[in-house]
Chain A
């Protein structure tokens, strides 16, 4: 489907700007539509025509949430690309290395300790903070266990991650079995994913963090390309593979940890978006990384829109929507691309 031309700066810029424009349009639509009646257009054209309630809902609830969805979607997609490059497998997703297990445990502990919305600033930040601490803890533990002879090899990190995920799942079930009914509800739905509507300062800080990490990963794009030659092949064209692996592990896990801490487990973004883009644009990471960010952002913004309005006045967990959209679409792609995508 794609032309066999290598990535060039004009091409990368063109796609980046184009996808960013698509994202902006989708964000506008998403902010315009909600389970309620308010439209952002009313706010723009109507000037003072919006009732106070509608204005507050729009600016304090919907717009921050749309921005958050974009940020997290981009983060998860980029983490997905990074892990797929690291593991040299297009079926890897951001949760495969176990960081999400740690974040989930942290988040659940926070819920059991009573953090969560409704308790002021500490409560608001307590849950994501604990979840992120859990993610970091998992990261450190996994890296320590998986480092053999000073090297972080793909197999050990994958295995350690898988084992850690299984362990956290068991721990989560155990904690659930001890939890009261109300806590159980909260835990289960936390694990299904929900995009929060953050306060402006929180959003700015989070955006800064995500952008920094994404840029750092984008800078490693050529190294990711080289990794597809195998670790020896990459070494032989001058890539410091061990450093690249370690950095990718940390940066990708940081993105994943941030996302899970704030929104719970939202799947498929990190798996499907990079995959689709790789088929459309080719595997060159100089193009794939920035494109995945904007495409992932768009995907999650739209998924969250569906989550918000499909079952009004109720809300669906966004993780359910991404799975329902992502799953069949992914299968469809696999079938279509079957002939073209078999490789060693």
Chain B
């Protein structure tokens, strides 16, 4: 069942890449994908995890922290890749995040004979699809399947553990001033559900909602996870921060406000099981254990 879907997506992606430029569809990419440029951090992680780091010749500006790719040349941001650099590197596969803004530069690359494969890693499903796609493109299908299986099993285990736990009201903050909260349809919302939490903003209209502080307070969250601060120097851990001002919140009264580094939870990828586990610890520490400060990003 999954394989058909996978094949469909790969063919679709390649077809789209081909259609976009109006040029000939590139020849079977699998054999020739020796020189890959990876723009998205999530995709890069997958490539490394699949053991295909050798194929990578260039990375996007936001790809960092992956040892095997550390020395590679940078080719620009998502929607402004430097086509010349990509050409210089003689890449024949360009893995990037799906982005309407970058459509123009993608077309340009395709016109130059480079296969462009946009990957959507913003949801759980998207992560698995992307993993399979990359596996297929880089000739690592077996490894990809195994990895996917393992990820699913670990997540399923977490879900099982959370089955009979009390439902807790969770507020997940992605931004402050203005207040941005994770809403339905976001991968965060999915994780909250997985670990037996209830998103206080389950009735929001978008995955990332510019929310009314008033409403959020009124709904008396029991857990607050604050991922709004991405400065390296920010305090991390079990810390009320600015939320302590609202002493009537159950989360504040019970000391269940967590300042977490955004990259630990916000952007899904191959670390999905670890993220889900961390979410479990934050929401249901009795069942999963207290989260360690280092897990929340404290250096």
Q: Do A and B touch (CB < 8 Å)? A: yes
Which one of B175, B206, B230 has the greatest number of beta carbons of chain A within 10 Å?
Answer: B175
Residue from A38, A61, A114, A311 in contact with B231 in the complex, judged by beta carbons closer than 8 Å: A114
> By the criterion CB–CB under 8 Å, are B218 and A117 in contact?
no
> By the criterion CB–CB under 8 Å, are B204 and A61 in contact?
no
> By the criterion CB–CB under 8 Å, are A61 and B217 in contact?
yes
Which one of B175, B178, B179, B204 has the greatest number of beta carbons of chain A within 10 Å?
Answer: B178
- When A36-B214, A117-B242 are in contact, do A313 and B230 touch as well, CB less than 8 Å? no
The interface bits of chain B over 169-196 (1 if a CB of A lies within 8 angstroms of the residue's CB, else 0) are: 0000011111110000000000000000
**B293: min CB distance to chain A, Å:** 18
Distance, CA A38 to CA B217, complexed state (A) = 12
> By the criterion CB–CB under 8 Å, are B241 and A118 in contact?
yes
List chain B residues, Cβ under 8 A from A177: 80
> By the criterion CB–CB under 8 Å, are A53 and B218 in contact?
yes
> By the criterion CB–CB under 8 Å, are A35 and B215 in contact?
yes
**Stretch from A96-104, A182-190, A213-221, A265-273 contacting the other chain:** A182-190
Distance, CA A53 to CA B211, complexed state (A) = 18
- When A117-B176, A185-B180, A314-B206 are in contact, do A62 and B214 touch as well, CB less than 8 Å? yes
Q: Is B91 an interface residue (CB 8 A)?
A: no
The interface bits of chain B over 238-278 (1 if a CB of A lies within 8 angstroms of the residue's CB, else 0) are: 00011001101100000000000010000000000000000
Which one of B204, B209, B248 has the greatest number of beta carbons of chain A within 10 Å?
Answer: B248
The residue in chain A whose Cβ has the minimal distance to the Cβ of B243 is: A118
Distance, CA A54 to CA B220, complexed state (A) = 11
> By the criterion CB–CB under 8 Å, are A189 and B178 in contact?
yes
Q: Is B93 an interface residue (CB 8 A)?
A: no
Distance, CA A185 to CA B174, complexed state (A) = 11
List chain B residues, Cβ under 8 A from A161: none
> By the criterion CB–CB under 8 Å, are A56 and B215 in contact?
no
Q: Is A312 an interface residue (CB 8 A)?
A: yes
The residue in chain B whose Cβ has the minimal distance to the Cβ of A199 is: B245
Q: Report, as a range, how many residues of chain A touch the other chain.
A: 35 or more
List chain B residues, Cβ under 8 A from A114: 229, 231, 233
Q: Is A308 an interface residue (CB 8 A)?
A: yes
**A3: min CB distance to chain B, Å:** 44
- When A116-B176, A117-B177, A186-B175 are in contact, do A315 and B212 touch as well, CB less than 8 Å? yes
Interface residues of A in 289-331 (CB under 8 A from B): 308, 311-317
> By the criterion CB–CB under 8 Å, are A315 and B230 in contact?
no
Distance, CA A197 to CA B233, complexed state (A) = 27
- When A117-B242, A194-B178, A315-B178 are in contact, do A180 and B212 touch as well, CB less than 8 Å? no
> By the criterion CB–CB under 8 Å, are B201 and A313 in contact?
yes
> By the criterion CB–CB under 8 Å, are A118 and B215 in contact?
no
List chain B residues, Cβ under 8 A from A189: 178, 210
**A220: min CB distance to chain B, Å:** 36
> By the criterion CB–CB under 8 Å, are B214 and A61 in contact?
yes
> By the criterion CB–CB under 8 Å, are B209 and A313 in contact?
yes
**A203: min CB distance to chain B, Å:** 16
> By the criterion CB–CB under 8 Å, are A36 and B176 in contact?
no
> By the criterion CB–CB under 8 Å, are A312 and B215 in contact?
yes
Residue from B178, B205, B213, B217 in contact with A311 in the complex, judged by beta carbons closer than 8 Å: B205
Q: Is A170 an interface residue (CB 8 A)?
A: no
Distance, CA A196 to CA B178, complexed state (A) = 9
- When A53-B248, A182-B175 are in contact, do A314 and B218 touch as well, CB less than 8 Å? no
The interface bits of chain B over 135-146 (1 if a CB of A lies within 8 angstroms of the residue's CB, else 0) are: 000000000000
Interface residues of B in 197-239 (CB under 8 A from A): 201, 203-206, 209-218, 220, 226, 228-231, 233
Distance, CA A262 to CA B215, complexed state (A) = 23
**B266: min CB distance to chain A, Å:** 9
> By the criterion CB–CB under 8 Å, are B177 and A314 in contact?
no
List chain A residues, Cβ under 8 A from B245: 60
Q: Is A120 an interface residue (CB 8 A)?
A: yes
Interface residues of A in 45-95 (CB under 8 A from B): 52-54, 56-57, 60-62
**A273: min CB distance to chain B, Å:** 25
> By the criterion CB–CB under 8 Å, are B205 and A118 in contact?
no
Distance, CA A37 to CA B212, complexed state (A) = 13
> By the criterion CB–CB under 8 Å, are A116 and B212 in contact?
no
List chain B residues, Cβ under 8 A from A57: 214, 217-218
> By the criterion CB–CB under 8 Å, are A34 and B214 in contact?
yes
Residue from B205, B215, B248, B262 in contact with A182 in the complex, judged by beta carbons closer than 8 Å: B262
Distance, CA A30 to CA B212, complexed state (A) = 15
Which one of A38, A189, A316 has the greatest number of beta carbons of chain B within 10 Å?
Answer: A189
Distance, CA A189 to CA B217, complexed state (A) = 21
Interface residues of A in 146-162 (CB under 8 A from B): none
> By the criterion CB–CB under 8 Å, are B177 and A35 in contact?
no
List chain B residues, Cβ under 8 A from A118: 176-177, 226, 228-229, 241-242
Residue from A34, A56, A315 in contact with B210 in the complex, judged by beta carbons closer than 8 Å: A315
Interface residues of B in 119-172 (CB under 8 A from A): none
> By the criterion CB–CB under 8 Å, are B175 and A35 in contact?
no
> By the criterion CB–CB under 8 Å, are B218 and A182 in contact?
no
Distance, CA A132 to CA B233, complexed state (A) = 25
**A162: min CB distance to chain B, Å:** 29
Known pairs A53-B248, A185-B175. 20 more at Cβ < 8 A? A36-B214, A36-B215, A53-B218, A53-B220, A56-B217, A114-B231, A114-B233, A117-B242, A118-B241, A118-B242, A119-B229, A189-B210, A190-B177, A312-B212, A313-B201, A313-B204, A313-B211, A314-B210, A315-B178, A315-B212
User: Can you give 26 contacting A-B residue pairs, CB < 8 Å?
Assistant: A35-B212, A35-B215, A36-B215, A38-B218, A53-B218, A56-B217, A56-B246, A61-B214, A117-B177, A118-B226, A118-B228, A118-B242, A119-B229, A180-B62, A182-B262, A186-B175, A189-B178, A197-B213, A308-B214, A313-B203, A313-B215, A314-B205, A314-B212, A315-B178, A315-B179, A317-B210
- 9 tightest A-B contacts by CB? A117-B177, A36-B218, A313-B215, A35-B212, A53-B248, A36-B214, A118-B176, A315-B212, A35-B215
